[in-house]
Structure 1
Amino acid sequence: MAIVENWLPPSRENWELICKIWQWFPVITAAQWLLDWYPQGKTSIISRINIPGKIGWATMESVGFISLIYIMYTLPGELRIKELPWGNWTMAGCFVIHYVYRAVISPLFLNPSMSPIHPLVWILAFCFQLCNAISLGGWLAGYGPTTNSDWAGRYWAMEIGLVIWAWGLLGNMFHDDDLREIRRAAARKQKKEAEKLGKPAGSVDKVYMVPKNGLFQYVLFAHYLCEWVEWGGFWLIGGWNCVPARAFLVNEITTMLPRALQGKRWYEKKFGKDKVGNRKAVIPGLV
Protein backbone atom coordinates (compact mmCIF):
# COMPACT_ATOMS: atom_id res chain seq x y z
CA MET A 1 0.00 0.00 0.00
CA ALA A 2 1.35 3.41 -0.96
CA ILE A 3 1.95 5.93 1.81
CA VAL A 4 1.67 8.79 -0.69
CA GLU A 5 0.18 7.74 -4.02
CA ASN A 6 2.77 7.84 -6.83
CA TRP A 7 5.39 9.37 -4.54
CA LEU A 8 6.12 6.85 -1.81
CA PRO A 9 6.79 4.53 -3.51
CA PRO A 10 7.32 6.76 -6.56
CA SER A 11 5.90 6.29 -10.02
CA ARG A 12 8.46 6.20 -12.82
CA GLU A 13 7.58 9.74 -13.86
CA ASN A 14 7.81 11.14 -10.34
CA TRP A 15 11.02 9.25 -9.63
CA GLU A 16 12.65 10.75 -12.72
CA LEU A 17 11.46 14.19 -11.64
CA ILE A 18 12.95 13.75 -8.15
CA CYS A 19 16.24 12.56 -9.64
CA LYS A 20 16.45 15.61 -11.92
CA ILE A 21 15.68 18.03 -9.12
CA TRP A 22 18.04 16.20 -6.76
CA GLN A 23 20.99 16.83 -9.08
CA TRP A 24 20.44 20.57 -8.66
CA PHE A 25 20.61 20.41 -4.87
CA PRO A 26 24.14 21.96 -4.74
CA VAL A 27 22.55 25.25 -5.86
CA ILE A 28 20.61 25.31 -2.57
CA THR A 29 23.78 24.73 -0.54
CA ALA A 30 25.38 27.83 -2.07
CA ALA A 31 23.90 29.85 0.81
CA GLN A 32 26.24 28.01 3.21
CA TRP A 33 29.24 29.62 1.50
CA LEU A 34 27.87 33.05 2.36
CA LEU A 35 26.50 32.51 5.86
CA ASP A 36 28.10 31.27 9.08
CA TRP A 37 24.66 30.77 10.62
CA TYR A 38 24.15 27.05 11.13
CA PRO A 39 22.21 26.37 14.35
CA GLN A 40 23.31 22.82 15.05
CA GLY A 41 26.21 21.09 16.79
CA LYS A 42 29.08 23.30 17.91
CA THR A 43 27.43 26.33 16.25
CA SER A 44 23.99 25.74 17.75
CA ILE A 45 22.13 28.70 19.22
CA ILE A 46 19.90 29.20 22.23
CA SER A 47 16.27 29.13 21.14
CA ARG A 48 12.99 28.16 22.75
CA ILE A 49 12.02 26.21 19.65
CA ASN A 50 15.19 24.09 19.53
CA ILE A 51 14.80 20.32 19.27
CA PRO A 52 16.83 18.19 21.72
CA GLY A 53 19.95 17.05 19.92
CA LYS A 54 19.59 13.29 20.21
CA ILE A 55 15.91 13.17 19.31
CA GLY A 56 16.30 15.72 16.55
CA TRP A 57 19.21 13.90 14.93
CA ALA A 58 17.61 10.46 15.17
CA THR A 59 14.30 11.56 13.66
CA MET A 60 15.70 13.67 10.81
CA GLU A 61 18.25 11.03 9.77
CA SER A 62 16.12 7.90 10.18
CA VAL A 63 13.59 8.87 7.52
CA GLY A 64 16.16 8.04 4.83
CA PHE A 65 16.84 4.40 5.53
CA ILE A 66 13.25 3.72 6.63
CA SER A 67 11.90 5.14 3.37
CA LEU A 68 14.44 3.23 1.30
CA ILE A 69 13.51 -0.07 2.97
CA TYR A 70 9.82 0.67 2.40
CA ILE A 71 10.38 1.40 -1.31
CA MET A 72 12.51 -1.73 -1.72
CA TYR A 73 9.70 -3.90 -0.38
CA THR A 74 6.73 -2.22 -2.09
CA LEU A 75 7.80 -0.91 -5.50
CA PRO A 76 8.87 -4.28 -7.01
CA GLY A 77 5.37 -5.62 -6.43
CA GLU A 78 3.80 -2.65 -8.20
CA LEU A 79 6.18 -3.19 -11.13
CA ARG A 80 5.55 -6.96 -11.07
CA ILE A 81 9.19 -7.72 -10.39
CA LYS A 82 9.38 -11.08 -8.62
CA GLU A 83 12.88 -10.78 -7.23
CA LEU A 84 15.47 -8.02 -7.16
CA PRO A 85 19.09 -8.94 -7.97
CA TRP A 86 21.60 -9.37 -5.16
CA GLY A 87 23.56 -6.30 -6.28
CA ASN A 88 20.54 -4.12 -5.48
CA TRP A 89 20.24 -5.60 -2.01
CA THR A 90 23.97 -5.17 -1.46
CA MET A 91 23.73 -1.45 -2.07
CA ALA A 92 20.57 -1.17 0.02
CA GLY A 93 22.33 -3.04 2.83
CA CYS A 94 25.29 -0.63 2.72
CA PHE A 95 22.94 2.33 2.95
CA VAL A 96 20.91 0.87 5.81
CA ILE A 97 23.98 -0.21 7.81
CA HIS A 98 25.43 3.30 7.62
CA TYR A 99 22.24 5.02 8.72
CA VAL A 100 21.32 2.56 11.44
CA TYR A 101 24.68 3.49 12.92
CA ARG A 102 24.45 7.22 12.18
CA ALA A 103 20.76 7.76 12.92
CA VAL A 104 20.01 5.31 15.72
CA ILE A 105 23.02 3.73 17.43
CA SER A 106 25.26 6.80 17.41
CA PRO A 107 22.90 9.46 18.79
CA LEU A 108 20.74 7.32 21.05
CA PHE A 109 23.29 4.90 22.50
CA LEU A 110 26.85 6.09 21.93
CA ASN A 111 26.93 9.88 22.12
CA PRO A 112 27.27 11.18 25.68
CA SER A 113 25.37 14.32 24.64
CA MET A 114 24.37 16.32 21.58
CA SER A 115 23.76 20.04 21.17
CA PRO A 116 20.21 21.12 20.28
CA ILE A 117 19.07 21.42 16.67
CA HIS A 118 17.09 24.31 15.24
CA PRO A 119 13.83 23.25 13.52
CA LEU A 120 14.99 24.78 10.21
CA VAL A 121 18.03 22.49 10.16
CA TRP A 122 15.79 19.55 11.07
CA ILE A 123 13.39 20.29 8.20
CA LEU A 124 16.19 20.68 5.63
CA ALA A 125 17.90 17.48 6.78
CA PHE A 126 14.59 15.59 6.75
CA CYS A 127 13.93 16.71 3.16
CA PHE A 128 17.49 15.79 2.17
CA GLN A 129 17.06 12.28 3.52
CA LEU A 130 13.64 11.79 1.96
CA CYS A 131 14.70 12.96 -1.52
CA ASN A 132 17.83 10.85 -1.34
CA ALA A 133 15.86 7.77 -0.27
CA ILE A 134 13.36 8.17 -3.12
CA SER A 135 16.15 8.71 -5.64
CA LEU A 136 18.23 5.71 -4.51
CA GLY A 137 15.26 3.55 -3.55
CA GLY A 138 13.58 3.94 -6.93
CA TRP A 139 16.77 2.97 -8.75
CA LEU A 140 17.35 -0.05 -6.51
CA ALA A 141 13.72 -1.21 -6.39
CA GLY A 142 12.90 -1.42 -10.08
CA TYR A 143 13.93 1.61 -12.12
CA GLY A 144 17.57 0.55 -12.26
CA PRO A 145 18.97 -2.98 -12.67
CA THR A 146 16.32 -5.68 -12.32
CA THR A 147 18.21 -8.91 -13.05
CA ASN A 148 21.54 -10.39 -11.98
CA SER A 149 22.71 -10.19 -15.58
CA ASP A 150 22.53 -6.39 -15.29
CA TRP A 151 25.42 -6.63 -12.81
CA ALA A 152 27.45 -9.09 -14.91
CA GLY A 153 30.95 -7.98 -15.83
CA ARG A 154 31.13 -5.51 -12.94
CA TYR A 155 31.98 -7.83 -10.08
CA TRP A 156 35.56 -6.59 -9.72
CA ALA A 157 34.36 -2.98 -9.51
CA MET A 158 31.71 -3.97 -6.98
CA GLU A 159 34.27 -5.77 -4.82
CA ILE A 160 36.62 -2.78 -4.86
CA GLY A 161 33.69 -0.47 -4.12
CA LEU A 162 32.64 -2.60 -1.16
CA VAL A 163 36.16 -2.50 0.27
CA ILE A 164 36.32 1.28 -0.11
CA TRP A 165 32.85 1.63 1.40
CA ALA A 166 33.79 -0.55 4.38
CA TRP A 167 37.04 1.31 5.10
CA GLY A 168 35.20 4.62 4.82
CA LEU A 169 32.56 3.44 7.30
CA LEU A 170 35.19 2.16 9.74
CA GLY A 171 37.11 5.42 9.45
CA ASN A 172 33.93 7.36 10.07
CA MET A 173 33.21 5.29 13.18
CA PHE A 174 36.76 5.63 14.50
CA HIS A 175 36.83 9.41 14.19
CA ASP A 176 33.29 9.76 15.54
CA ASP A 177 34.37 7.85 18.63
CA ASP A 178 37.43 10.06 19.03
CA LEU A 179 35.09 13.05 19.20
CA ARG A 180 32.89 11.23 21.72
CA GLU A 181 35.90 10.51 23.91
CA ILE A 182 36.42 14.26 24.37
CA ARG A 183 33.05 14.50 26.10
CA ARG A 184 33.38 11.16 27.87
CA ALA A 185 36.67 12.36 29.37
CA ALA A 186 35.09 15.67 30.35
CA ALA A 187 32.15 13.85 31.92
CA ARG A 188 34.47 11.59 33.92
CA LYS A 189 36.42 14.60 35.15
CA GLN A 190 33.30 16.52 36.11
CA LYS A 191 31.84 13.50 37.88
CA LYS A 192 35.02 13.02 39.88
CA GLU A 193 35.13 16.67 40.91
CA ALA A 194 31.41 16.70 41.72
CA GLU A 195 31.78 13.65 43.95
CA LYS A 196 34.53 15.41 45.91
CA LEU A 197 32.30 18.44 46.42
CA GLY A 198 29.13 16.42 46.98
CA LYS A 199 27.36 18.12 44.08
CA PRO A 200 25.71 16.80 40.92
CA ALA A 201 27.90 16.67 37.81
CA GLY A 202 27.42 19.40 35.20
CA SER A 203 26.49 19.03 31.55
CA VAL A 204 29.05 18.30 28.83
CA ASP A 205 26.79 19.38 25.95
CA LYS A 206 29.11 22.20 24.95
CA VAL A 207 32.50 20.69 25.75
CA TYR A 208 34.85 20.90 22.77
CA MET A 209 38.55 20.38 22.16
CA VAL A 210 40.70 20.20 19.05
CA PRO A 211 40.76 16.45 18.14
CA LYS A 212 44.21 14.99 17.50
CA ASN A 213 44.04 11.26 16.76
CA GLY A 214 43.96 9.49 13.41
CA LEU A 215 43.35 11.79 10.47
CA PHE A 216 42.51 14.56 12.92
CA GLN A 217 46.27 15.20 12.91
CA TYR A 218 45.81 16.62 9.42
CA VAL A 219 42.20 17.83 9.20
CA LEU A 220 39.56 19.00 11.64
CA PHE A 221 36.69 17.10 10.04
CA ALA A 222 38.20 13.70 9.35
CA HIS A 223 34.82 12.04 9.89
CA TYR A 224 33.47 14.03 6.95
CA LEU A 225 36.33 12.90 4.72
CA CYS A 226 35.79 9.26 5.67
CA GLU A 227 32.09 9.55 4.89
CA TRP A 228 32.90 10.90 1.43
CA VAL A 229 35.25 7.97 0.85
CA GLU A 230 32.47 5.65 1.99
CA TRP A 231 29.93 7.03 -0.47
CA GLY A 232 32.54 7.14 -3.21
CA GLY A 233 32.85 3.37 -2.76
CA PHE A 234 29.06 3.12 -2.77
CA TRP A 235 28.94 4.89 -6.15
CA LEU A 236 31.60 2.51 -7.48
CA ILE A 237 29.42 -0.44 -6.46
CA GLY A 238 26.49 0.98 -8.43
CA GLY A 239 28.63 1.95 -11.40
CA TRP A 240 29.42 5.18 -13.22
CA ASN A 241 25.86 5.38 -14.59
CA CYS A 242 24.22 5.10 -11.18
CA VAL A 243 23.00 8.71 -11.14
CA PRO A 244 21.35 8.53 -7.68
CA ALA A 245 24.58 7.33 -6.02
CA ARG A 246 26.59 9.99 -7.83
CA ALA A 247 24.12 12.70 -6.86
CA PHE A 248 24.23 11.49 -3.24
CA LEU A 249 28.02 11.84 -3.11
CA VAL A 250 28.03 15.25 -4.80
CA ASN A 251 25.24 16.54 -2.56
CA GLU A 252 27.02 15.31 0.56
CA ILE A 253 30.24 17.06 -0.43
CA THR A 254 28.56 20.32 -1.39
CA THR A 255 26.64 20.30 1.89
CA MET A 256 29.46 19.29 4.20
CA LEU A 257 32.41 21.15 2.65
CA PRO A 258 31.18 24.68 3.51
CA ARG A 259 30.15 23.33 6.92
CA ALA A 260 33.71 22.07 7.47
CA LEU A 261 35.21 25.41 6.41
CA GLN A 262 32.82 27.19 8.74
CA GLY A 263 33.85 24.77 11.49
CA LYS A 264 37.53 25.51 10.89
CA ARG A 265 36.86 29.21 11.40
CA TRP A 266 34.98 28.32 14.58
CA TYR A 267 37.93 26.27 15.90
CA GLU A 268 40.37 29.08 15.11
CA LYS A 269 38.16 31.63 16.85
CA LYS A 270 37.63 29.48 19.93
CA PHE A 271 41.09 27.94 20.36
CA GLY A 272 43.33 30.22 18.30
CA LYS A 273 45.17 29.62 15.04
CA ASP A 274 48.26 28.42 16.90
CA LYS A 275 46.25 25.60 18.51
CA VAL A 276 44.70 24.57 15.19
CA GLY A 277 48.11 24.70 13.51
CA ASN A 278 48.49 23.58 9.91
CA ARG A 279 45.39 21.40 9.92
CA LYS A 280 43.09 21.84 6.96
CA ALA A 281 39.33 21.66 7.25
CA VAL A 282 38.59 18.34 5.57
CA ILE A 283 41.08 17.36 2.82
CA PRO A 284 44.72 16.96 3.93
CA GLY A 285 46.99 19.51 2.32
CA LEU A 286 44.21 21.10 0.26
CA VAL A 287 41.25 22.59 2.05
Structure 2
Amino acid sequence: MAIIQNWLPPSRENWETVCFIWQFFPVITAFQWVLDWYPQGKTSTDSRFNIPGKIGWATMESAGFIVLLYNMFTLPSELGIEELPWGNWTMAGCFVIHYVYRALVSPLFLNPSMSPIHPLVWTLAFLFQVFNATSLSGWLAGYGPTTVNDWAGRYWAMEIGLVVWAWGLLGNIFHDDDLREIRRAADRKQRKEAEKLGRPVDGVDKVYMIPKNGLFALVLYAHYLCEWIEWAGFWMVGGWKCVPARVFLVNEITTMLPRALQGKRWYEKKFGKDKVGSRKAIIPGLV
Protein backbone atom coordinates (compact mmCIF):
# COMPACT_ATOMS: atom_id res chain seq x y z
CA MET A 1 0.00 0.00 0.00
CA ALA A 2 1.49 3.32 -1.06
CA ILE A 3 1.54 6.09 1.52
CA ILE A 4 2.30 8.69 -1.17
CA GLN A 5 1.45 7.40 -4.62
CA ASN A 6 4.58 6.89 -6.78
CA TRP A 7 6.82 8.40 -4.07
CA LEU A 8 6.55 6.15 -1.01
CA PRO A 9 7.37 3.66 -2.37
CA PRO A 10 8.77 5.43 -5.44
CA SER A 11 8.03 4.64 -9.06
CA ARG A 12 11.11 3.96 -11.16
CA GLU A 13 10.84 7.38 -12.79
CA ASN A 14 10.59 9.17 -9.45
CA TRP A 15 13.36 7.04 -7.96
CA GLU A 16 15.66 7.99 -10.84
CA THR A 17 14.75 11.64 -10.29
CA VAL A 18 15.63 11.39 -6.60
CA CYS A 19 18.94 9.68 -7.42
CA PHE A 20 19.80 12.39 -9.94
CA ILE A 21 19.03 15.24 -7.55
CA TRP A 22 20.80 13.49 -4.66
CA GLN A 23 24.12 13.59 -6.51
CA PHE A 24 24.15 17.38 -6.17
CA PHE A 25 23.86 17.44 -2.39
CA PRO A 26 27.51 18.60 -2.02
CA VAL A 27 26.43 21.93 -3.56
CA ILE A 28 24.14 22.48 -0.57
CA THR A 29 26.98 21.81 1.88
CA ALA A 30 29.21 24.43 0.26
CA PHE A 31 28.16 27.06 2.83
CA GLN A 32 29.95 25.04 5.52
CA TRP A 33 33.30 25.85 3.91
CA VAL A 34 32.83 29.59 4.38
CA LEU A 35 30.69 29.88 7.53
CA ASP A 36 31.37 28.77 11.09
CA TRP A 37 27.67 29.08 11.93
CA TYR A 38 26.32 25.61 12.54
CA PRO A 39 23.67 25.66 15.30
CA GLN A 40 24.03 22.10 16.59
CA GLY A 41 26.23 20.25 19.04
CA LYS A 42 29.22 22.14 20.44
CA THR A 43 28.48 25.08 18.12
CA SER A 44 24.78 25.27 18.97
CA THR A 45 23.29 28.70 19.63
CA ASP A 46 20.55 29.99 21.92
CA SER A 47 17.25 30.26 20.08
CA ARG A 48 13.65 30.00 21.17
CA PHE A 49 13.08 27.80 18.13
CA ASN A 50 15.65 25.18 19.18
CA ILE A 51 14.58 21.55 19.40
CA PRO A 52 15.75 19.54 22.45
CA GLY A 53 18.86 17.64 21.43
CA LYS A 54 17.78 14.06 22.11
CA ILE A 55 14.31 14.39 20.59
CA GLY A 56 15.60 16.37 17.61
CA TRP A 57 18.35 13.88 16.86
CA ALA A 58 16.11 10.83 17.21
CA THR A 59 13.36 12.20 14.97
CA MET A 60 15.58 13.50 12.18
CA GLU A 61 17.83 10.42 12.04
CA SER A 62 15.06 7.81 12.30
CA ALA A 63 13.52 8.92 9.00
CA GLY A 64 16.20 7.05 7.06
CA PHE A 65 15.75 3.51 8.30
CA ILE A 66 11.96 3.91 8.49
CA VAL A 67 11.74 4.93 4.82
CA LEU A 68 14.18 2.22 3.78
CA LEU A 69 12.32 -0.55 5.61
CA TYR A 70 8.94 0.61 4.32
CA ASN A 71 10.16 0.58 0.72
CA MET A 72 11.88 -2.80 1.18
CA PHE A 73 8.61 -4.37 2.33
CA THR A 74 6.26 -2.69 -0.15
CA LEU A 75 8.04 -1.99 -3.43
CA PRO A 76 8.84 -5.62 -4.41
CA SER A 77 5.18 -6.63 -4.42
CA GLU A 78 4.28 -3.61 -6.57
CA LEU A 79 6.95 -4.72 -9.06
CA GLY A 80 5.88 -8.37 -8.99
CA ILE A 81 9.03 -9.53 -7.21
CA GLU A 82 8.28 -12.49 -4.95
CA GLU A 83 11.52 -12.52 -2.99
CA LEU A 84 14.56 -10.27 -2.83
CA PRO A 85 18.01 -11.91 -2.77
CA TRP A 86 19.91 -12.16 0.51
CA GLY A 87 22.50 -9.62 -0.67
CA ASN A 88 19.82 -6.92 -0.77
CA TRP A 89 18.68 -7.73 2.74
CA THR A 90 22.27 -7.83 3.98
CA MET A 91 22.85 -4.24 2.85
CA ALA A 92 19.48 -3.16 4.24
CA GLY A 93 20.40 -4.79 7.55
CA CYS A 94 23.72 -2.95 7.70
CA PHE A 95 21.94 0.35 7.15
CA VAL A 96 19.24 -0.35 9.74
CA ILE A 97 21.72 -1.55 12.38
CA HIS A 98 23.75 1.66 12.03
CA TYR A 99 20.79 3.98 12.24
CA VAL A 100 18.98 2.16 15.04
CA TYR A 101 22.17 2.70 17.05
CA ARG A 102 22.68 6.26 15.82
CA ALA A 103 19.07 7.47 15.92
CA LEU A 104 17.59 5.62 18.90
CA VAL A 105 20.05 3.77 21.13
CA SER A 106 22.72 6.47 21.20
CA PRO A 107 20.66 9.62 21.87
CA LEU A 108 17.84 8.12 23.92
CA PHE A 109 19.70 5.57 26.06
CA LEU A 110 23.46 6.20 26.00
CA ASN A 111 24.11 9.93 25.72
CA PRO A 112 24.09 11.71 29.10
CA SER A 113 22.96 14.90 27.34
CA MET A 114 22.79 16.53 23.92
CA SER A 115 22.92 20.18 22.92
CA PRO A 116 19.79 21.64 21.25
CA ILE A 117 19.36 21.56 17.48
CA HIS A 118 18.20 24.47 15.35
CA PRO A 119 15.16 23.71 13.14
CA LEU A 120 17.20 24.49 10.01
CA VAL A 121 19.75 21.80 10.87
CA TRP A 122 16.94 19.39 11.77
CA THR A 123 15.22 20.00 8.43
CA LEU A 124 18.39 19.51 6.37
CA ALA A 125 19.27 16.34 8.26
CA PHE A 126 15.73 14.99 7.87
CA LEU A 127 15.82 15.64 4.12
CA PHE A 128 19.26 14.00 3.94
CA GLN A 129 17.80 10.86 5.48
CA VAL A 130 14.72 10.78 3.25
CA PHE A 131 16.64 11.35 0.00
CA ASN A 132 19.38 8.91 0.96
CA ALA A 133 17.00 6.17 2.11
CA THR A 134 14.86 6.55 -1.03
CA SER A 135 17.93 6.30 -3.24
CA LEU A 136 19.30 3.23 -1.47
CA SER A 137 16.01 1.42 -0.90
CA GLY A 138 14.91 1.87 -4.50
CA TRP A 139 18.07 0.09 -5.62
CA LEU A 140 17.73 -2.61 -2.96
CA ALA A 141 13.98 -3.15 -3.26
CA GLY A 142 13.58 -3.74 -6.98
CA TYR A 143 15.43 -1.30 -9.24
CA GLY A 144 18.83 -2.90 -8.61
CA PRO A 145 19.69 -6.60 -8.24
CA THR A 146 16.61 -8.81 -8.02
CA THR A 147 18.02 -12.36 -8.15
CA VAL A 148 20.80 -14.32 -6.43
CA ASN A 149 22.57 -14.50 -9.81
CA ASP A 150 22.98 -10.72 -9.75
CA TRP A 151 25.32 -11.19 -6.77
CA ALA A 152 27.18 -14.19 -8.19
CA GLY A 153 30.94 -13.87 -8.46
CA ARG A 154 31.12 -11.07 -5.91
CA TYR A 155 31.02 -13.02 -2.65
CA TRP A 156 34.65 -12.37 -1.74
CA ALA A 157 34.23 -8.63 -2.26
CA MET A 158 31.04 -8.69 -0.20
CA GLU A 159 32.78 -10.52 2.64
CA ILE A 160 35.64 -8.01 2.69
CA GLY A 161 33.15 -5.16 2.53
CA LEU A 162 31.20 -6.53 5.48
CA VAL A 163 34.39 -6.82 7.54
CA VAL A 164 35.32 -3.22 6.71
CA TRP A 165 31.76 -2.09 7.51
CA ALA A 166 31.79 -3.92 10.86
CA TRP A 167 35.15 -2.50 11.93
CA GLY A 168 33.99 0.97 10.94
CA LEU A 169 30.82 0.58 13.00
CA LEU A 170 32.74 -0.71 16.02
CA GLY A 171 35.22 2.15 15.72
CA ASN A 172 32.36 4.61 15.50
CA ILE A 173 30.74 3.18 18.64
CA PHE A 174 34.05 3.10 20.55
CA HIS A 175 34.89 6.72 19.82
CA ASP A 176 31.31 7.86 20.44
CA ASP A 177 31.52 6.27 23.88
CA ASP A 178 34.80 8.02 24.58
CA LEU A 179 33.02 11.33 23.99
CA ARG A 180 30.17 10.23 26.24
CA GLU A 181 32.58 9.36 29.03
CA ILE A 182 33.71 12.99 29.16
CA ARG A 183 30.20 14.02 30.17
CA ARG A 184 29.60 10.98 32.33
CA ALA A 185 32.74 11.80 34.32
CA ALA A 186 31.69 15.46 34.60
CA ASP A 187 28.23 14.39 35.74
CA ARG A 188 29.66 12.10 38.43
CA LYS A 189 31.88 14.89 39.69
CA GLN A 190 29.03 17.40 39.74
CA ARG A 191 26.72 15.04 41.60
CA LYS A 192 29.38 14.30 44.19
CA GLU A 193 30.03 18.00 44.78
CA ALA A 194 26.30 18.82 44.77
CA GLU A 195 25.65 16.16 47.39
CA LYS A 196 28.48 17.47 49.54
CA LEU A 197 27.44 21.13 49.28
CA GLY A 198 23.69 20.54 49.21
CA ARG A 199 23.09 22.36 45.91
CA PRO A 200 21.51 21.29 42.61
CA VAL A 201 23.51 19.72 39.79
CA ASP A 202 24.51 22.22 37.09
CA GLY A 203 24.12 19.83 34.16
CA VAL A 204 26.62 18.70 31.52
CA ASP A 205 24.96 19.90 28.31
CA LYS A 206 27.89 22.16 27.46
CA VAL A 207 30.78 20.20 28.99
CA TYR A 208 33.55 19.66 26.44
CA MET A 209 37.12 18.41 26.64
CA ILE A 210 39.64 17.25 24.05
CA PRO A 211 39.21 13.47 23.69
CA LYS A 212 42.45 11.49 23.76
CA ASN A 213 41.76 7.75 23.48
CA GLY A 214 42.00 5.60 20.36
CA LEU A 215 42.26 7.55 17.12
CA PHE A 216 41.49 10.73 19.05
CA ALA A 217 45.20 10.84 19.76
CA LEU A 218 45.66 11.64 16.06
CA VAL A 219 42.46 13.40 15.00
CA LEU A 220 39.66 15.33 16.69
CA TYR A 221 36.84 13.67 14.76
CA ALA A 222 37.79 10.00 14.86
CA HIS A 223 34.11 9.00 15.02
CA TYR A 224 33.57 10.73 11.66
CA LEU A 225 36.53 8.90 10.11
CA CYS A 226 35.21 5.55 11.35
CA GLU A 227 31.82 6.30 9.84
CA TRP A 228 33.47 6.97 6.47
CA ILE A 229 35.24 3.61 6.74
CA GLU A 230 31.93 1.99 7.61
CA TRP A 231 30.13 3.33 4.53
CA ALA A 232 33.13 2.60 2.30
CA GLY A 233 32.71 -1.05 3.34
CA PHE A 234 28.98 -0.76 2.66
CA TRP A 235 29.76 0.41 -0.90
CA MET A 236 32.14 -2.54 -1.31
CA VAL A 237 29.29 -4.89 -0.43
CA GLY A 238 27.08 -3.35 -3.10
CA GLY A 239 29.86 -3.15 -5.67
CA TRP A 240 31.00 -0.40 -8.03
CA LYS A 241 27.65 -0.48 -9.82
CA CYS A 242 25.80 0.42 -6.62
CA VAL A 243 25.62 4.14 -7.38
CA PRO A 244 23.37 4.97 -4.39
CA ALA A 245 25.98 3.58 -1.96
CA ARG A 246 28.73 5.57 -3.66
CA VAL A 247 26.69 8.77 -3.61
CA PHE A 248 25.89 8.16 0.07
CA LEU A 249 29.60 7.95 0.91
CA VAL A 250 30.45 11.05 -1.11
CA ASN A 251 27.64 13.03 0.47
CA GLU A 252 28.72 11.95 3.95
CA ILE A 253 32.27 13.11 3.29
CA THR A 254 31.27 16.44 1.76
CA THR A 255 29.07 17.35 4.72
CA MET A 256 31.27 15.96 7.52
CA LEU A 257 34.68 17.16 6.31
CA PRO A 258 33.92 20.90 6.55
CA ARG A 259 32.13 20.24 9.83
CA ALA A 260 35.29 18.60 11.20
CA LEU A 261 37.49 21.47 10.01
CA GLN A 262 35.06 23.91 11.60
CA GLY A 263 35.18 21.85 14.79
CA LYS A 264 38.96 21.93 14.87
CA ARG A 265 38.88 25.72 14.75
CA TRP A 266 36.40 25.61 17.63
CA TYR A 267 38.70 23.36 19.70
CA GLU A 268 41.69 25.62 19.01
CA LYS A 269 39.73 28.71 20.01
CA LYS A 270 38.37 27.15 23.21
CA PHE A 271 41.41 25.21 24.42
CA GLY A 272 44.29 26.79 22.51
CA LYS A 273 46.42 25.46 19.66
CA ASP A 274 49.02 24.14 22.09
CA LYS A 275 46.40 21.88 23.71
CA VAL A 276 45.15 20.60 20.37
CA GLY A 277 48.75 19.95 19.37
CA SER A 278 49.49 18.10 16.16
CA ARG A 279 46.06 16.51 15.90
CA LYS A 280 44.41 16.85 12.52
CA ALA A 281 40.69 17.33 12.08
CA ILE A 282 39.71 13.97 10.63
CA ILE A 283 42.41 12.23 8.52
CA PRO A 284 45.63 11.39 10.42
CA GLY A 285 48.60 13.33 9.06
CA LEU A 286 46.59 15.04 6.32
CA VAL A 287 43.52 17.11 7.19
TM-score interval, normalised by the smaller of the two chains = over 0.9
Per-residue deviation, 1:124: 0.2
Partner in structure 2 of residue 241 of structure 1: 241
Partner in structure 1 of residue 3 of structure 2: 3
Opposite residue 127 of structure 2, the aligned amino acid is C
Offset from partner CA, 1:207-256 (integer Å, 9 cap, x none)? 00000000000000000000000000000000001000000000000000
2:286 match: secondary structure: coil
CA distance in 2, matches of 1:199, 1:3: 52
Give identity over the alignment, percent: 83
After TM superposition, the score normalised by the length of structure 1 is 1.00
Per-residue deviation, 1:41: 0.1
Per-residue deviation, 1:87: 0.0
Per-residue deviation, 1:201: 1.1
Alpha-carbon RMSD: 0.4
1:286 aligned onto 2:286: yes
After TM superposition, the score normalised by the length of structure 2 is 1.00
CA distance in 2, matches of 1:117, 1:28: 19
Partner in structure 2 of residue 266 of structure 1: 266
Offset from partner CA, 1:109-134 (integer Å, 9 cap, x none)? 00000000000000000000000000
Offset from partner CA, 1:92-114 (integer Å, 9 cap, x none)? 00000000000000000000000
Opposite residue 67 of structure 1, the aligned amino acid is V
CA distance in 1, matches of 2:195, 2:25: 51
Opposite residue 38 of structure 1, the aligned amino acid is Y
Partner in structure 2 of residue 186 of structure 1: 186
Partner in structure 2 of residue 103 of structure 1: 103
Partner in structure 1 of residue 204 of structure 2: 204
1:112 match: secondary structure: coil
Partner in structure 2 of residue 232 of structure 1: 232
CA distance in 2, matches of 1:155, 1:23: 28
Opposite residue 146 of structure 1, the aligned amino acid is T
For 1:157-176, list aligned pairs within 5 A: 157-176=157-176
Per-residue deviation, 1:260: 0.1
Q: Report runs of 4+ in structure 1 exceeding 2 Å deviation.
A: none
CA distance in 2, matches of 1:92, 1:148: 15
Which runs of 5 or more structure 2 residues have no equivalent in the other structure?
none
CA distance in 2, matches of 1:33, 1:4: 36
CA distance in 2, matches of 1:23, 1:88: 22
Opposite residue 96 of structure 1, the aligned amino acid is V
Per-residue deviation, 1:3: 1.1
CA distance in 1, matches of 2:91, 2:113: 31
Partner in structure 1 of residue 88 of structure 2: 88
Per-residue deviation, 1:199: 1.4
Offset from partner CA, 1:152-206 (integer Å, 9 cap, x none)? 0000000000000000000000000000000000000000000001112111000
CA distance in 2, matches of 1:43, 1:266: 8
CA distance in 2, matches of 1:55, 1:137: 25
2:116 match: secondary structure: coil
Which runs of 5 or more structure 1 residues have no equivalent in the other structure?
none
Q: Provide the aligned length of Structure 1 versus Structure 2.
A: 287
